[in-house]
Amino acid sequence: MTKVHSHKWEQLGYAAPFKFVCLIELPSKAVQEHNPMAAQGQWANVHKVCEALGLSGVGSCDICGTGLMNNFVCRDANGKHFVVGSDCVQKLRDTKLVTKVQKAEAERQRRIQLAKAEAKREEARKLFSAELELQRVRNGGLTDIEVIRKAEDDRRKAAADERAAKYSVENAWLVKVIDQQSGDFCIDMTRKLETTALEDFSPRQIDILRDIFAKNHDGRTRRNSKKYETGCDIFDEHTGCEEDKAMIAEALARQQDNPKRWMNGVDYAGKEGFGVPQSIKIADIMEDEDVTISEAIQLFRNRKQG
């Protein structure tokens, strides 16, 4: 007589084939000790799943009796649900069932790693918050970075106040006239004159301001009149335009080797918004250092900041 071999699962009354249903995780000891409320919620969910699947209980393997924290629920051909551990599943050598159980275990491990990572992030957040609180106590309510930012803001404000105090006096002769005129340009120029040196205005802005001043410095007058010419002379005297012309003449005399390149540098710097004296200095840097005009502008800015 041929001997029929049956698997242990079948010997215990379960009918093949078997299908994996779900994984039921029991609350860990750490969760039960440190977060009883969370553990209680997990237990409630476990009982709800067991009731839905008709399981009498979980926590031990229905095949070998080994205690389980991770209960893999399977269903046999008759629709009966039972609980096994991963080792018993491996012994069954059912490839499909093993694969699904391994996938569920991998997902469980992934959740564990995510939970650990989140716990680390939360711990780092707590440490960071504690450090910020210590800084606030030490700095009178401000963090270290806020102290640095406040110092920088104070420095900028002090510099702005210093500029305003300086140029509101230095440019008062021009502000007095421009401030009386209407239009957005005059409003913008009045504000700029109160905080900025005239040499930092563009050539085009200087030309317009000169024209407005000449026509309005002594009541309104027309262009090319005697009063207008007098106004232009006063403007040029204040802004140093006569000195600019002399500087250009002197600089041209020093640039006999390549005057065209130098003049192109002056013109380019002017188009970039630099005044005549600054444009000349930039062109000089370009020639002296044998660099491009763009590099000369950057060098000029660096030296000015230094």
At 164-185, the pLDDT tens digits run 899 889 899 999 999 999 999 9
Residue 81: the pLDDT is 92
Q: Which residues of the chain fall short of a pLDDT of 50?
A: 1-5
What integer pLDDT is reported at residue 305 of this predicted model?
A: 67
Closest C-alpha among 103, 62, 64 to residue 80: 62
What confidence score (pLDDT) does residue 245 get? 55
| pLDDT value of position 188 | 93
Cβ atoms of 177 and 212 closer than 8 Å: yes
> Of 203, 212, 210, nearest to 234 (Cα)?
210
Q: What is the pLDDT of residue 2?
A: 41
* DSSP codes joined into one string, 36-101: HHHHHHHHHHHHHHHHHHT-S--SB-TTT--B-SEEEEEE-TTS-EEEE-HHHHHHHT-HHHHHHH
d(CA 284, CA 278): 10
Look at residue 160 in the predicted model and tell me its pLDDT. 87
**In the prediction, which pLDDT does 250 show?**
60
Six-digit token string for 45: 């969910």
Q: What whole-number distance in Å separates Cα of residue 237 and Cα of residue 174?
A: 12
Q: What is the pLDDT of residues 27-83, one digit of tens each?
A: 888 888 888 888 888 889 989 989 888 888 888 998 888 998 989 999 999 999 999
